[in-house]
Structure 1
Amino acid sequence: MRLVRLGEQPSVVGVDVRAALSTWGVGKAVLGGVALLGVQPPGCPRPLDAVIVLPRGVLVVVGVDLPDPAMRLEAPLTGGWAIDGWPLVRTDGAVNPATEALAAATTVANRLQAMRAEPLPVSTVIAVGPYVGKVVQPTVDLNRGVRVLHPEPTTLLAAARELATCERPCTVDQASRLLGVVMSEGSPPDTGQLLAEGFPDAVTTDLASASTMLIPRIGGKDGAERGAERKPRRPLPPLPHWAPYAAAGVFGLLVLLGIIVAATSGDTPSAAPPTTSARPTTVAMAGLTFAPEGAAKDTDCAGHSFGDARTWLTQHGCTGLQRAQYETSVNGRKVAVSVAEITVADAAAGAQLRAVLDTPGAGGVNDLVREGRTWPGGPANFDRAAYASSVQDNRIRVAQAVWADGQSTATDPALLNLAKQAQQLPLTQ
């Protein structure tokens, strides 16, 4: 598990989460994957203690600080929580912290779906502290892919193995893209680091047709509750009066050791303080990092096109137009990319419009720079841009690529390759 610290832990128990993840070490020997600590994905209402991206699933970890330690916590997703038989009362008035945690997890799942990332199951882990001896959850909640637990190395590892069970593993390229749309700043780990964390290096199908959703877990025994008491085989002798104090001392020593390991871990960059300024969400794909530079969504396709393409769209209409632009760098030189997707009535109309757009000199869809949406260091226009297009049923996607400075040609091999890759970029930012 590779740890990437993006901000401070939003909860006190988040320190225990980080310590538990640190004990697994780097690499795939224990589990693999990448954990983003203190991350707040775009659109998420609050910072998260961790978003754990595994080859077969995504875990959203939300910390909940209880007012006191508990021997037994009853934590249903609906209704109030109870600590040692007493209703939970917090200073913020919340009687069921699971509501906020589920809302945060849903935000992450919705963003992955909107950005067309790899459709891995998104599950929720609610980490409770300062200490909980046993957590009781209804079976129906467990089947929804939600775990409430005190974050120790073993409990967190067990939850990850139970929840991250997608049949098809997420490849290196897909993981890089997924991490890129969740991170609010910085760049995902490189290809070598992702390979070391268990993400396979393989070619998969087009991600543009994928979707992401909350996938409920199906498992367990009907009517059973997590943490149910087991009847001992034989009566155990009573513990000495000093045993609770000794156990408390050992637990405190383990917690202190975990904090020291987390604080001194060389795999988590902690030298630079987290920034509070908003940064654009980068998208990592094919070894390149694309910085969003604007997006737009319209229904007047003819009004945002020119030439024969405008004539065709005026006659036949469309159901939607989405455009986006990005900046990346190839061999140290900045490249600007424009992507557009037009949705028409049916597949036959899609093939007709693509034929018009692919005809040299027949016009096309305005890029955002053409309509005045420039950015510092960006190109003055997309003239002589390298061009690529594709059609899927009734959706036509076109992409252009130009050097941000200097002259471009439509036959430049580097730009042509980039235009083909750019067709996979998200149209929402």
Structure 2
Amino acid sequence: MRLIRLGVEPSQIGVDVRAALSTWGGGDSVLGGVALLGVTPPDCPRALDAVIVLPRGVLVVVGVDLPDPAMRLEAPLSGQWKIDGWPLTRPDGATSPAAEALEATTAVARRIQDMRGEPLPVTTVVAVGPYVGQVVQPTGDLNRGVRVVHPKPTTLLAAARELATSDRPCSADHAAKLLAVLAPTGTPPDAGQLRAEGFSDAAADLASASTLLLPKVPPAARRPKWLPYAAAGVVAVLLVVGLVVALTSGGASEAASSTSAAPQPTTVVVDGRNFSPKGADRTEECAGHAFGDVRAWLAGHLCLQLRRAQFETSVDGRKAGVAVSELNLPDAARAAELHRVASVAGSGGVTALVKEGRTWPGGPVSFDRAAIKAVTKTNQVRIAQVVWVDGDSDPADPALTALADQALRLPAHQ
């Protein structure tokens, strides 16, 4: 367990939480993971004693200071808490401190979802003290993923093992993104440090997989394999599986493109117009694939991920190339700031894939003098660039600017 202290724990019992976690030591020999101590994630209603990011789950730890030590604590999620048979009274009139803990957990889960973080289960640990001999919780509350414990190394370890139960382990890259989402002011550990804490080398990006687009098989490259599937009372179903011709590219990048080609999705339709996908890319290195003022801004700010995609379409029989980029920022405020920079004429933008050698037959050789449109939504900034494949392009061309508006609704992945 790697500890990162970002602030003072908001409760007195939070000191015991930190002490218990520190006894596990670094590495994954006991449990692994990273604990953010004294952290206040964006949009969270309160400071948290800890957020523990584990390879198979996220634990939100909220400390509750009791007025006195207790031999027995009855701690339902809804209803009166009782200390040794006596009702717990608080100045604010609340009968169950668990409600505040659940509110914080909900905020953390929403933050991870909005930022497109790894979809790990987010559960709650309510740490109580100064001392509690026995905690009684209803079975239904336990099934909801909430544990009320006096924070000792053994009780926290048992809670973590019971609650962090994702079927798919989190990779080191996804863990770094999660940590940046939860604590955007700090710098997450590097991939090597995260692997030492039990995070895997890689994991399939199931959260971003699209089920709406089907693989496209060019007729010239089709190599059918008939796969029969039988079910009682139903005739066999035959599935044609094809191989896709690699995208050709100019210069030294041609060999690299031929070895990394992937099946391309079918045509995407926006407002009745067909857009043919011509390649996509994803990276966490945002500034290195931008230019102008946009590159300068990204070099000084945290960017979680850049997705790029390119398409081909036609307007009144004239072919056009389309480049779409999607930048994921830690929060809406920074997305709005980047949007202001990208919306200024001549301020730069994101480098199109064709400039990095990802061309396609009959496509544009560059996106110079492209019509550019940018839009922001929550923590994302989307930028669309459109040029004519043949002839000169004018950034003020009404046909190109209208096409750029449509392109903002294209997916940045294929």
Q: Could you say if the C-alpha distance between residues 29 and 340 of structure 1 is closer, same or farther in structure 2, counting changes exceeding 3 Å? A: closer
Aligned equivalents of 2:285 and 2:139: distance in 1?
A: 48
1:68 Cα offset (Å): 1.1
Deviations 1:53-105 (A, max 9, x none): 00011100000111111110000011110111011002332211000100000
Helix, strand or coil at the partner of 1:51: strand
Aligned equivalents of 2:350 and 2:190: distance in 1?
A: 32
1:204 Cα offset (Å): 1.6
1:164 Cα offset (Å): 0.8
Task: Tell me what 2:150 maps to.
Answer: 150
1:202 Cα offset (Å): 2.1
Residue identity (%): 58
- Matched to 1:25, the amino acid is G
Task: Tell me what 1:213 maps to.
Answer: none
Aligned equivalents of 1:179 and 1:168: distance in 2?
A: 18
Task: Tell me what 2:63 maps to.
Answer: 63
- Matched to 1:167, the amino acid is D
Deviations 1:110-165 (A, max 9, x none): 11111111111111000011111100000000011100010011100110011111
Matched, 1:197 2:197: yes
1:329 Cα offset (Å): 4.8
Aligned equivalents of 2:188 and 2:319: distance in 1?
A: 38
Aligned equivalents of 1:369 and 1:83: distance in 2?
A: 49
Matched, 1:385 2:342: no
Task: Tell me what 1:356 maps to.
Answer: 313
Matched, 1:133 2:133: yes
Task: Tell me what 1:24 maps to.
Answer: 24
Answer 1 or 2: which has greater strand percent: 2
Helix, strand or coil at the partner of 2:105: helix
2:325–2:384 CA contact under 8 A, matched in 1: no
Aligned length: 275
- Structure 2 segments unaligned to the other structure (5+ residues): 211-268, 275-283, 327-334, 359-380, 386-410
1:127–1:149 CA contact under 8 A, matched in 2: yes
Deviations 1:216-267 (A, max 9, x none): xxxxxxxxxxxxxxxxxxxxxxxxxxxxxxxxxxxxxxxxxxxxxxxxxxxx
Aligned equivalents of 2:30 and 2:108: distance in 1?
A: 25
Task: Tell me what 2:278 maps to.
Answer: none
2:286–2:306 CA contact under 8 A, matched in 1: no
- Structure 1 segments unaligned to the other structure (5+ residues): 211-311, 318-325, 342-350, 390-396, 402-421, 425-429
Aligned equivalents of 1:71 and 1:104: distance in 2?
A: 27
Helix, strand or coil at the partner of 2:18: helix
1:192 Cα offset (Å): 1.2
Task: Tell me what 1:91 maps to.
Answer: 91
Aligned equivalents of 2:338 and 2:122: distance in 1?
A: 38
Task: Tell me what 2:257 maps to.
Answer: none
Aligned equivalents of 2:121 and 2:94: distance in 1?
A: 28
Q: Could you say if the C-alpha distance between residues 380 and 97 of structure 1 is closer, same or farther in structure 2, counting changes exceeding 3 Å? A: farther
Aligned equivalents of 1:340 and 1:33: distance in 2?
A: 26
Task: Tell me what 2:42 maps to.
Answer: 42
- Matched to 1:106, the amino acid is T
| Alignment root-mean-square deviation, CA | 4.0
Q: Could you say if the C-alpha distance between residues 202 and 83 of structure 1 is closer, same or farther in structure 2, counting changes exceeding 3 Å? A: same
Task: Tell me what 2:181 maps to.
Answer: 181
Aligned equivalents of 1:370 and 1:357: distance in 2?
A: 33
Helix, strand or coil at the partner of 2:313: helix
Task: Tell me what 1:373 maps to.
Answer: 340
TM-score (norm 1): 0.56
- Matched to 2:162, the amino acid is E
Pairing 1:243-262 to 2, within 5 Å after superposition: none
